[in-house]
Structure 1
Amino acid sequence: MQSLDWIVLSLTLLFIVAYGAWKTRGSKNVEDYIKGGNETKWWTIGLSVMATQASAITFLSTPGQAFHSGMGFVQFYFGLPIAMVIICLVFIPIYHKLNVYTAYEYLESRFDVKTRTLTAILFLIQRGLAAGITIFAPAIILSAVLGWDLVTLNIIIGVLVIIYTVSGGTKAVSVTQKQQMAVIFGGMFIAFYLILQYLPDGITFTKALEIAGASNKMKVLDFSWDLNNRYTVWTGFLGGTFLMLSYFGTDQSQVQRYLSGKSVRESQLGLIFNGLLKVPMQFFILLVGVMVFVFYQFNASPLNFNPKANKVVQNSEFYADYQSLEKQHQQIEEKRKELIFNGITDESAVKLQELNEQDLTLKDEAKTLITKANEEVETNDKDYVFIHFILNNLPKGLIGLLLAVILSAAMSSTASELNALGSTTAVDLYKRNMATDRSESHYVKASKWFTLGWGILAILVACVANLFDNLIQLVNIIGSIFYGNVLGIFLLAFFFKYVKSNAVFIAAIITQLVIIIVWYIDWLPYLWLNALGCGLIMLLAFILQSIKNENSIIE
């Protein structure tokens, strides 16, 4: 990185932190701090909801996911528009009618305190873990760029977010997320434009799509029912809808964004805006990754994009074998380039796929050598693809901007998470169960202290985190383990008055244990855990309620 990159990066991040802290200073009551004074307009809600979900992991991992596996990951988001409509029609009117600070307050009025507390705790566990991952993701990037210690970077990133989140609460999060989304969209469009400019003469965007298609990167829809395939139309519409319903409808980090709306209509418009824009945004980010793949059809690429992995094997006894694999990799790249320049035909497309398969085999062999050199080094390099392209190909200044994009996304998502964690702890646990009759200023201070505490805990989680195949998958896996259960609790509360509190409470505990076991033995793709958890708790709750009613009749 050059001086100009440091200036762009530093000024962008410092402006966001300072602006957020200054603009929202002085919240004196709980409504201002947690609900932003109910002044948020629909477009701010929409951008805030989108920014909360679009963490650094989105811009770090998604292009790498497309580079390796193509556009199929977009199917993961197919259920989102459906979920947005349901939440607008059902969840938002109920939340606004009851004037709640958190989603879990409603559960006490419908069931009891213990059900509200259990659901809040489930949220705190999964979101607390996810907050650590959203800090850890950009720390990996800067660690690769600067060679700094990961722990130091985790602390720096966490502290930046904590400053304005603790200071201004929900309003600070919403205000800063508008600036962050502007940086994110601007940076990604510039990156996309430059990738196309870097392609050889004669390789237009249409030609690039043709090359990607010949390499099986443009397959968007998969209608198969293969449970070993994580991303299909059915997992997107079924599993994805349940995941999005639970995330946007019951996860306080999202609910808090639209509870701050000026009215029911503003909140609904904000979510519809998110539903219309989110899928195209993810499609575009995946397309950026596919274009990076096309770029590397004409330019040399490393055998493994993780710089640490390469360094480890270079200093080991296996380096000679690794060099042999690199030479074969380069030969495949030359053959592939020649094939593409001669024009894509049905015959050349088959040969191209054969070369890609040979290259994948070489990369697997390289991962084996890296593991032999050091078992603790991560061999998965999906999360390093986009950052490798940024650092080695973008001009001065734009490197700093793209790093600011990724760090802005990390800050926006982490701020929402810490804000929600602090609010839920203060309102659903502390105020309800420990300090029921204190002043407004006391609860504001408590919320700030809890936000600070969760920030410190998130930094600690980040310091012990490891890559898990792909960071964006890790966050969604964590969510899928808990979200279906929580969604089932809310659906029972909304629609099934027959089921009472004790049946729901017991069913929720059993369901959570079953889902953890199913995930651990890898019985289902993780997206299906959302549907399984939701259906299982509802079934168990009905059975338990029926047994109780029958016993009552007998007695």
Structure 2
Amino acid sequence: MQLNWIDWAVLAITLLSIVGYGTWKTRGRNSAQDYIKGGNSTKWWTVGLSVMATQASAITFLSTTGQAFSDGMGFVQFYFGLPIAMVVICMVFIPLYHKLKVYTAYEFLESRFDLKTRTLTAILFLIQRGLAAGITIFAPAIILSVVLGWNITYLNIAIGILVIIYTVSGGTKAVTVTQKQQMFVIFAGMLAALFITLNLIPDDVSFTKAIDIAGSNGRMEILDFSFDLENRYTVWSGLIGGTFLALAYFGTDQSQVQRYLSAKSVKEMQMGLIFNGLLKVPMQFFILLVGIMVFVFYQFNPPPLNFIDSSTKAVLTSKYSQEYQTLQEKQNTLFNNKKAITLELTKTDDNNLRQELFQLDSIEKTYRQESKYLIKRAIDTAYANKYDRISNELLVLNNDKNSIAYKEKEAELISWYKESAKDTKTNDRDYMFITFILKYLPKGLIGLLLAVILSAAMSSTASEINALATITSIDLYGRSLKENKDEKHMVNATKIFTLIWGIIAIVIACFANLAENLIQLVNIIGSIFYGNVLGIFLLAFFFKHIKANAVFTAAIITQIIVIIGWWFDWMPYLWLNLFGCALVMLIAITLQPFIRIKNITHV
């Protein structure tokens, strides 16, 4: 799809203004206090917005709206533990960090335990946050590349370079000041999207009627009090697993810790986090509500069977074309039936109609699953045929492996591997919102919402590479130096590490692959590591008799067990946070007496 010049202008002006402002506002910061901790001059509302912007990546808007469209409002339960975590962090973590005057969360662990424990937790952070930084670039890039036809590699590089420019230039302060502008763009864009979507729904359908329609289709079931571990999102997984995830993320993840360490005082830090705790759940509820309204819009306007145009074209040009077209015809008939019942439901309150609508929605979900199956078969067949052709041609040229023809075919085969990994896309929930934006929203607003998506990507990525560089500089590089270096040296080293991590994030983005749902992928990566790290911090805070060797050994054992548990799907990923936290504490407490006896024996 080609963007109108108005959309290009809005997109370019918005993004370049943010980058230019961040670079200009933070120029000339040459002290470690200024560059890494933002000069400890940040106000509480800026801290709160910066914390929110760090978490609110492009994935939030693309995936969360798609999550609401497909499964309803239940995902909001994921955030129920966040306010609880904010209170705990304000009472326990922040006073300690401020008292010790640390640059990173992991400095505390060396004074409490030893260097190897500090280094291990820093490395765990670098692994999981380094992967996440690549995904926050990759998420909007791959979706925009598919929908708009833009080259994904160029998009990855462009987003990465924009972030690197102001993050290298101004450090933590640059990240913080630009995130205020980015959050303004995000709020304005999402409000505009909601009001425009409501305006596109038929005039005689009020907001309350739209909610009723969504509820009749099973999309307004917000609270689930069941203890079913097969259900990812319940009140209990949110309150328990979500609390532990939020404690680990906001209390020990440097990309967040660095945001509030830049505040003027303990009170400003605490107010910033409480502000985030009060606003985050309503914000996520609002984003899900936008997805719900897009769903209601498609009850009156025919939705595609699959929202990825390139995947639809692939199946329609394959031998499965007839089956797919038959499925499309079934869906069209079902849509007409659903629309008739929906219109009737706007005029009368009939439970029988609601039940019938719910049943039709279940059938539509089945059709969508069948479409994904046909698309996968079509794409797999196409690539299998191409692979067979190239392999046969290589076999013919096998006797002359040094020939130009052989090398060209070999390069074609390598290209096939990359294409097949990139193009086998069937799950379209991450594409629903962007497809709706491009097809139905007015000129200018499309550019603004694309700016929202890219601003969110930039804000999260900037925080992440800023934190990755700080950890690398302070916890690994600086701690390994035999002699102390002056502040200018450490600032320059942090700038170099920022550039390196920015490049690494771009490379990860270029080689990443689309998961079932991107917001879940980021949370899964965090859940694998966060519980273990949080447990280490809780041992440091509350179990004074536990020493370094017990914690270090327990952390390694725990991380191996958690990875195995995730691989074999022992439990929904949110519970991995509680599992990892409890396990590392239990193992460390169990090991400590044996290690003490061993030490006494050696003495």
- Give the structure-1-normalised TM-score: 0.99
Aligned residue number for residue 466 of structure 1: 513
- For 1:310 and 1:24, the matched residues in 2 are separated by 47
Answering whether residue 375 of structure 2 is matched by residue 370 of structure 1, we say yes
Are positions 1:546 and 2:546 aligned together? no
CA distance in 1 between partners of 2:371 and 2:206 (Å):
33
1:285 maps onto 2:295 in alignment: no
Q: Matched residues in 2 for 1:329 and 1:126: separation?
A: 41
| Alignment-derived partner of residue 477 in structure 1 | 524
Aligned to 2:136: 134
Aligned equivalent of 1:528: 575
| Residues in 2 aligned to 1:101 and 1:384: alpha-carbon distance in whole angstroms | 39
Aligned equivalents of 1:265, 1:454: Cα separation in 2 = 32
* Equivalent of residue 434 in structure 1, options 481, 485, 492: 481
Q: Once the 2 structures are TM-superposed, how far is the Cα of residue 554 of structure 1 from its aligned partner?
A: 6.4
How much has 1:194 moved relative to structure 2? 0.8
For residues 297-347 of structure 1, give each alpha carbon's deviation from its aligned partner in whole angstroms, at most 9, with x where no partner exists. Answer: 000110001122112112212112111111111111100000011125211
Shift of the 481–280 alpha-carbon distance from structure 1 to 2, 3 Å rule, reads same
Q: What letter matches 2:508 in structure 1?
A: V
Partner in structure 2 of residue 195 of structure 1: 197
For 1:353, the equivalent position in structure 2 comes to 358
Give 1:228's aligned residue.
230
Query: Which aligned pairs between 1:251-330 and structure 2 lie closer than 5 A?
Result: 251-330=253-332
Deviation at 1:553, TM superposition (A): 5.9
Match of 2:49 in 1: 47
The TM-score with structure 2 as length reference comes to: 0.91
Counterparts of 2:449 and 2:322, CA distance in 1: 35
CA distance in 2, matches of 1:463, 1:278: 31
| Structure 1 residues 24 and 80: alpha-carbon distance in aligned structure 2, compared to 1, 3 A threshold | same
- Contact map agreement 2:175 2:459 (CA 8 A) in 1: yes
1:390 corresponds to: 437
Counterpart CA distance in 2 for 1:203 and 1:121 is 54
> Match of 1:186?
188
Q: Give distance in 2, aligned partners of 1:304 and 1:359.
A: 11
Partner of 1:215: 217
- Aligned-pair distance for 1:551? 4.1
- Equivalent residues in 2 for 1:124-163 (5 A)? 124-163=126-165
How many angstroms does 1:21 deviate by? 0.6
Equivalent position SS for 2:90? helix
The count of residues paired between Structure 1 and Structure 2 equals: 555
**Structure having the higher Rg:** 2
Identity of aligned residues (%): 66
Matched position secondary structure for 2:573: coil
Q: Distance in 2 between matches of 1:23 and 1:201?
A: 46
Cα deviation code 1:394-424 (max 9, x no counterpart): 0000000001011110000000001000000
Aligned-partner Cα distance in 1 for 2:447–2:600: 70
In structure 2, what is the equivalent of residue 21 of structure 1?
Answer: 23
Contact 2:549 2:595 in 1 (8 A): no
Which residue of 2 is the match for residue 118 of structure 1? 120
1:472 is aligned with what amino acid? I
Distance 2:67 2:119 in 1: 37
Kindly tell me: are residues 436 and 391 of structure 1, through their superposed partners in 2, closer, same or farther at Cα, counting changes over 3 Å?
A: farther
Q: Deviations over 1:495-517 (max 9, x none)?
A: 11010000000000000000000
Give the alignment partner of residue 543 of structure 2, picking from 496, 514, 523. Answer: 496
Gaps spanning 5+ residues in structure 1: where?
none
Q: Report the AA paired with residue 117 of structure 2.
A: T
Shift of 1:362: 1.1
Distance 2:177 2:126 in 1: 24
Aligned partner of residue 450 in structure 2, secondary structure:
helix
In structure 2, distance between residues paired with 1:277 and 1:436: 45
Secondary structure of residue in 2 paired with 1:316: coil
Aligned counterpart in structure 2 of residue 78 of structure 1, from 80, 85, 94: 80
319-328 or 165-174, larger mean C-alpha shift: 319-328
Measured after TM superposition, the shift of residue 168 of structure 1 is: 0.4
| Aligned counterpart for 2:555 among listed residues 508, 533, 540 | 508
Q: CA deviation at 1:467?
A: 1.4
| Distance 1:436-1:198 versus aligned 2 partners, 3 A rule | farther
Q: Is the 8 A contact 2:136 2:457 kept in 1?
A: yes
Aligned to 1:166: 168
Aligned residue identity for 1:354:
Q
Q: How far apart, in 1, do the equivalents of 2:258 and 2:539 lie? A: 22
| Deviation for aligned residue 1:454 | 0.6
State how far apart, in whole Å, the 1-side matches of 2:350 and 2:190 are: 32
1:333 corresponds in structure 2 to 335
Query: In 1, distance between residues paired with 2:205 and 2:457?
Result: 34
1:430-471 deviations in whole A, cap 9, x for unaligned?
000136411211110110111111111111111111111100
Letter in 2 for 1:201: D
Query: Match of 2:298, SS?
Result: helix
CA distance in 2, matches of 1:435, 1:216: 62
Partner-residue secondary structure (3-state), 2:210: helix
Instruction: Provide the rounded CA distance (Å) in 2 between the counterparts of 1:281 and 1:483.
Output: 24
SS of equivalent residue, structure 1 residue 73:
helix
Cα offset, 1:359, TM superposition: 0.9
Per the TM alignment, residue 285 of structure 1 is displaced from its structure 2 partner at its CA by 0.3
Q: Tell me the SS of whatever aligns to 1:298.
A: coil
Matched, 1:415 2:462: yes
Deviation at 1:141, TM superposition (A): 3.1
Using the alignment, how far apart are the partners of 2:521 and 2:147 within structure 1? 23
Q: Which amino acid in the other structure matches residue 31 of structure 1?
A: Q
Kindly indicate whether the alpha-carbon contact (under 8 Å) linking 2:109 and 2:540 is maintained by their aligned counterparts in 1: yes
Q: Distance in 2 between matches of 1:436 and 1:152?
A: 42
Contact 2:469-2:501 within 8 A present in 1 as well:
yes
1:552 Cα offset (Å): 5.0
User: In structure 2, how many angstroms separate the alpha carbons of the residues matched to 1:83 and 1:178?
Assistant: 23
- C-alpha distance in structure 2 between counterparts of 1:144 and 1:368, whole Å: 19
Deviations 1:254-304 (A, max 9, x none): 000000000000000000000000000000000110111000000011000
Instruction: Report the residue type matching 1:56 in the other structure.
Output: A
Deviations 1:14-46 (A, max 9, x none): 000011011001111111110000000000000
CA positional deviation for 1:357: 1.3
Between the aligned partners of 1:551 and 1:429, the Cα distance in structure 2 is: 30
Counterpart CA distance in 1 for 2:483 and 2:128 is 26
Unaligned runs of 5+ in 2: 381-419
In 1, Cα distance between equivalents of 2:473 and 2:236: 39
Moved more, 59-68 or 314-323: 314-323
